[in-house]
Structure 1
Amino acid sequence: MTPTRSRHGRRGILLIAGLTAGALALTGCTPEAESPTSAPEWELTAQTDAPSGDIDSFSWVSYGEPYSLDYAYAFDYADNQVLANVCESLLRLNPDYTLTPGLAESFENPTPTTWVYTIRDGVTFHDGTPLTAADVVASMSRHIDPAVGSSWFSVYQNVASIEQTGDREVTVTTTIPDTQFNQGMGGSAGVIESAATLAEKGADYGNSTGLVNCTGPFELTEWQSGESITLTRYDDYWDDSLKAKSGEVRFVFMGDATARVNALKSGDVDGGWMLPVDGIAQLQETSGEVSFGLSTAASNLIVSNLEGPLGDVRVRQALLMALDRDGILEAAAKGYGEVSNALTTESVWGGASDATRDAAFSDLEEYPYDVEAARKLVEEAGATGEKVVIATAPIGNDFTVISQATVAAAQSIGLEAEIKTVTPNAYTALFSDPSAREGVDLFYTVWYLSSPDPLEMYGVLRTGEFSNYGGWSDPEFDAIANEAVGIQDAEARAQKSSELQHIANEQLPWLPLFTGPTTVYQGERITGVAPSIAYLYFPWAATIGAR
């Protein structure tokens, strides 16, 4: 039920829902608190306590039902938090956001335009059949098949061929040097499925009827549409270090944030990701454990129409200056996070030196809250009285807070503004259908990166990219980004990404709002999870056992 799905290619994952409950009362059109409040105290946790032993089963609550468990379309939080425990990729994206070998025991880049993967021996699918190089070729080839319409096509956009070149070897040839291709092999773009299963299930593959047949520590055994998904431990799993400690995991779908908090408090369900922020304090009073972990997500306003007043960078700057982002952070996220002027978080800059990472985030324009200065910018641009439309949907309280605050900010600087409320499914279409964005100037996203490289973010803002929703174009930016894609050295590539971050900060194709941690709750029965947004690709449920 969240707006991240597409039958077309794009890089990155878009939007969260259910971060906040709808309990916050707003006065007028602004989320500012009546009196200053102190930010909550929280700290990042890399790993929770190890389990005391195995457990028969545990339950997990999700804000929504997966759209699909077909890896080609698994492009959202609800989808991937399940799929990560069932299906595996060529590389493994770890909780610390490093990439290590997965179903490919090794890889090499012998020429600038070839990636060679050696497929791990001794791995079996859940039906007991062995993993082969032919399965890898079949799985990867779906992303370049127009009939499939993979949501991950942009990872493969430079791929010329995918071939079996040895008994356990697959070679991918690209049209240009493309470092980002291999970076993407730790996510859904690198998932491997049985070629026989793909052929057998056809259009039913990945849905509640066809299910999936992968290699992960859990097998997908039941999907009761609209209610729950059950995973069962796969006893022949190849990686002893990640053999599941629970015999079964049951995902329960609850769209209502208050209901999720109550279910966790009562112990009706044992755990959950993406805690409604209004419920965090309540959950901290239970005998369970709330943890905050690494995140790559940034909350932004996407500028989707540059034909209107937001086509003038001064108006974009003015709107950002008219947004009380500290107040928005308090109202939308209860202060869990911090205001940001960048579209990335430091957690994806692991390949950069400390100096390069610091440079990427230093000297960025701050855009302080200043309505008078913002109004003058709008006047200078000749945009006073022009209209902007902000799309929103009844998905979470953050949507309400941010849409109302944006309207209030626009009006305060002399623009006319209105909110266009659509259904959650229609909001989804904003990310995949250009016609759905007609008449819409802005919409909200919480965009996270699925690889440990900031270039993933800035690559989508190149001219003509599918996820460049407003059609923003800057020749200097394009030239730097295109050069960076071919740079093998992570530090040198990060230096180029730093330049891109500064250009985006100056030009504001998207308006950065704030960042926040990944949140997770484990009830009194369970422990062992690594609180990291890598749960979308790493088999996190396998590490959970008895407290």
Structure 2
Amino acid sequence: MIFNMKLLQAALLAALGVASLGAGAQTVRIANQGDSLSMDPHSLNESLQLSVTGNVYEPLVGRNKDLSVAPGLATSWKQTSPTVWRFELRKGVQFHDGTPFTADDVLFSMARTQVEGSDMKSYTNDVKEVRKVNDHVVEIETKAPFPILPDVLTGVYIMSKKWCETNQAQRPVDRRKGIENAASFRANGTGPFRLRERQPNVRTTFVRNGNYWGKIEGNAQEVIFTPIGNDATRVAALLSGEIDVMEPVPVQDIDRVNGSPNTKALVAPELRTIFLGMDQKRDELQFSNVKGKNPFKDKRVRQAFYQSIDIEGIKKTVMRGASNPTALMVGPGINGFQAEMNKRLPYDPDAAKKLLADAGYPNGFEVAMNCPNDRYVNDARICQAVAANLSRIGVKINLAAETKGTYFPKILRRDTSFYMLGWTPATYDAHNALNALMACPDDKGTGQFNLGSYCNPKVDQLTKSVQSETDKAKRNALIKEAFEIHAADIGHLPLHQQALAWGVSKKIKLVQMGDNYMPFKWITVQK
């Protein structure tokens, strides 16, 4: 037993890249089940990547601890006409290489989000033009009135035009094609932390930016971010003091973490909705034994899948109660959430079998399901439970659960028939989910994450109306109508909102927000 513990400790130390237990007093060691796949802030619209890179790069409009908007690289903003916003830029800001931040960097970054390879097109697809008024003032003109533009821009990080051009990184890396460039491994932002070392899937080290323009509340001088995919190893590292913060805590280990004298679990609702999507575009379904047609084009098949999923069983046995089953693609806390609509179709395998038979599949069929195993809470186990549920109605699921490093490029290429995805609207507004997940996909960024290509022109029309409507009651009515159409179509299969669970050493003070972002500037090592 002693020998095994020593082996475990040595393995943990090697994984974390520390020579001994005594790391510096203001060094914070953070572990996650997966890695940030790139340092390029425009290459992947994934909350972990944006959380990590958001410590190095900054948007024009930031967020406070309560998720309200706050000045970032812009000190103020106002509408000068229904479609034009003027942003006053912060003066005296420098990128980490010493280059001054100016309006040219804003114009460059906004354009960079729209080029091939960008995963951020859905944030800026309604921008008509970005104009430089002077070095510290820009105007952003939208194609139609867009009252929530400042909220949208909180997810668009600003890069140095000069640095990108010097390092041949004018375009984002394309996660669908596996292309990398200098921005994949290096970084030059204006944020409170600098990137010191990047070893993908091993360790990424950040150090405090001594020339930061703003206040850094925490005292962390160095942050070491390490992916530890194995749940048991990650929990053991926290309990033994090898790491200071971990995310997520497996739901079955929350009591164990809270029971330790040196650690605690921070548990709170998350704004993310977990759902399943289906290819509704191809005439012949890929990765299936059905030839010559696509079963998912038939609403009866989609509804059969929906009603075969025992969501309460998943909540009880897989999530250990740490989830809120949902009928909608957004959850509580998102502007436009419609509580009165949040009623799932009943779990009814017999009804599901009849729907399949009526659709011409009395014996079911086979289809592959793509799922990550290191992105969401118990993601692979949820997919296994769904597969077991579907087997009861004759559907054979060929489950492909894999690391997000290979999973995301595959599904973002739409090389999938049936998939899992989680979504937190970066704007904390229902329009984001409508525009990115439910609108008919185009090449400008609309429907960029509608990976099954669900399409209803009426939903598109309502999404555009939601974007420009300023009256809250009218806007909520439009959102409700769009949600009702999508639900009636069985456009996707919503599952639940998962709970946040961070494991934290009791010597660490930090801020946990509902979007699951972890700003290093608010982390303090307490004596």
Normalising by the smaller structure, the TM-score range is 0.7 to 0.9
Q: Is 2:488 the partner of 1:497?
A: no
Q: Which amino acid aligns with 1:120?
A: R
Q: Is the alpha carbon distance of 1:280 and 1:364 closer, same or farther for their aligned partners in structure 2, counting shifts above 3 Å?
A: closer
**1:227 is aligned with what amino acid?**
V
Matched residue, 1:206: 183
Partner SS state of residue 452, structure 1: coil
> Are 1:254 and 2:254 counterparts?
no
Contact 1:365 1:506 in 2 (8 A): no
Instruction: Trace 1:34-113 onto structure 2 (pairs within 5 A).
Output: 56-113=26-83
Task: State the SS of the aligned residue for 2:57.
Answer: coil
C-alpha contact (below 8 Å) 2:66/2:513 kept by paired residues:
yes
Is 1:463 aligned with 2:433?
no
Distance in 2 of aligned mates of 1:383 and 1:194: 55
State how 1:55-204 maps to structure 2 within 5 Å.
Answer: 56-146=26-116, 149-179=117-147, 181-187=149-155, 189=156, 191-203=157-169, 204=181
User: Is 2:368 aligned against 1:382?
Assistant: no
Secondary structure of 2:191's aligned partner: coil
| Structure 1 position 421 matched with structure 2 position 400 | yes
Q: Aligned with 2:194: secondary structure?
A: strand
Please state how far the C-alpha of 1:213 moved relative to its aligned partner.
1.7
After superposition, the Cα gap between the structure-2 partners of 1:364 and 1:346, relative to the gap in structure 1 and judged at 3 Å, is closer
- Tell me the CA shift for residue 87 of structure 1: 1.3
In the TM superposition, residue 420 of structure 1 has moved relative to its aligned partner by 4.0
- SS in structure 1 at match of 2:59: coil
User: Aligned residues: percent identity?
Assistant: 25
Provide, for residues 384-426 of structure 1, a one-character-per-residue CA deviation record: whole Å limited to 9, x for no partner. Answer: 224241413562583443333333333323x432314264344
CA contact (8 A) 2:192 2:212 kept: yes
**1:346 equivalent in alignment to 2:326:** no
The match for 2:305 is: 319
Secondary structure of the 1:289 match is: strand
Moved more, 69-78 or 318-327: 69-78
Alignment partner, residue 336 of structure 1: 322
Equivalent in the alignment of 1:371: 349
Change (3 A) 1:291 1:453: same
- The structural deviation recorded for 1:317 is 2.2
> Does 2:381 correspond to 1:401?
yes
1:196-221 CA distances to partner (integer Å, 9 max, x unpaired)?
2222222443233xx21212111112
Query: Which is worse superposed, 246-255 or 264-273?
Result: 246-255
Q: Please tell me whether the aligned partners of residues 220 and 520 of structure 2 are also in contact (alpha carbons under 8 angstroms).
A: no
Q: Which residue of 1 aligns with 2:13?
A: none
- Is 1:531 aligned to residue 506 of structure 2? no
Q: Tell me the distance in 2 between the aligned counterparts of 1:141 and 1:475.
A: 28
Contact 1:98/1:452 (CA < 8 Å) preserved in 2?
no
Corresponding residue for residue 23 of structure 1: none
Deviates more, 1:268-277 or 1:375-384: 375-384
- Single out whichever of 511-520 and 153-162 deviates more from structure 2: 153-162
CA distance in 1, matches of 2:454, 2:30: 40
Give the drift of 1:294.
4.3
Deviates more, 1:416-425 or 1:368-377: 416-425
Tell me whether 1:223 sits opposite 2:198 in the alignment: yes
Q: Compared with structure 1, are the counterparts of its residues 300 and 479 closer, same or farther at alpha carbon in structure 2 (3 Å cutoff)?
A: same
In 1, Cα distance between equivalents of 2:221 and 2:121 = 35
Q: Which residue of structure 1 aligns with residue 266 of structure 2?
A: 291
- Between the aligned partners of 1:390 and 1:532, the Cα distance in structure 2 is 35
Q: Is the 8 A contact 1:55 1:245 kept in 2?
A: no
The 3-state SS of whatever aligns with 1:407 is helix
Alignment of 1:509 onto 2:491: yes
Whole-Å separation in 2 of the counterparts to 1:194 and 1:269: 33
Are the equivalent residues in 1 in contact too, given 2:273–2:495 (CA < 8 A)? Answer: yes
Bigger CA drift: 149-158 or 177-186? 177-186
* Counterpart in the other structure of 1:37: none
When the two chains are superposed, the root-mean-square deviation of aligned CA atoms in Å is 2.4
In structure 2, distance between residues paired with 1:489 and 1:205:
45
1:38 is matched with none
TM-score, with length taken from structure 2: 0.83
Residue 110 of structure 1 aligns to a residue whose secondary structure is: strand
Q: Which amino acid aligns with 1:374?
A: A
Say if 1:428 and 1:224 are closer, same or farther in 2 by CA, change over 3 A: closer
Gaps of 5+ in 2: 1-23, 170-180, 284-293, 442-446
Matched, 1:486 2:468: yes
Amino acid corresponding to residue 481 of structure 1 in structure 2: T
Number of residue pairs matched? 472
For 2:306 and 2:31, locate their aligned partners in 1 and report how far apart those are by CA, in whole Å. Answer: 35
User: How far apart in 2 are the matches of 1:520 and 1:299?
Assistant: 18
Do the aligned partners of residues 475 and 223 (structure 1) sit closer, same or farther apart at CA in structure 2, a change above 3 Å counting?
closer
Deviations along 1:272-300, one digit per CA (max 9) or x if unpaired, are 22222232222111221211234211111
* 8 Å CA contact 2:280, 2:296 repeated in 1: yes
Separation of aligned partners in 2, 1:454 and 1:154: 14
In structure 2, give the amino acid aligned to 1:193.
Answer: M
Equivalents in 2 of 1:386, 1:311: separation in Å? Answer: 15
- The one-letter amino acid of 1:133's match is A
Are 2:421 and 1:445 aligned? yes
> Which range moved further: 131-140 or 263-272?
131-140
Q: Tell me by how many angstroms 1:540 deviates.
A: 4.2
Matching of residues 428-439 of structure 1 within 5 Å: 428-434=408-414, 436-437=415-416
Q: CA deviation at 1:186?
A: 0.6
For the 8 Å contact 2:384–2:399, the answer to whether it is kept is: no
Deviates more, 1:74-83 or 1:191-200: 74-83
Unaligned runs of 5+ in 1: 1-53
Inter-partner Cα distance in structure 2 for 1:170 and 1:490: 28
State whether structure 2 residue 520 is matched by structure 1 residue 520: no
- Check conservation: 1:63, 1:257, Cα contact below 8 A: yes
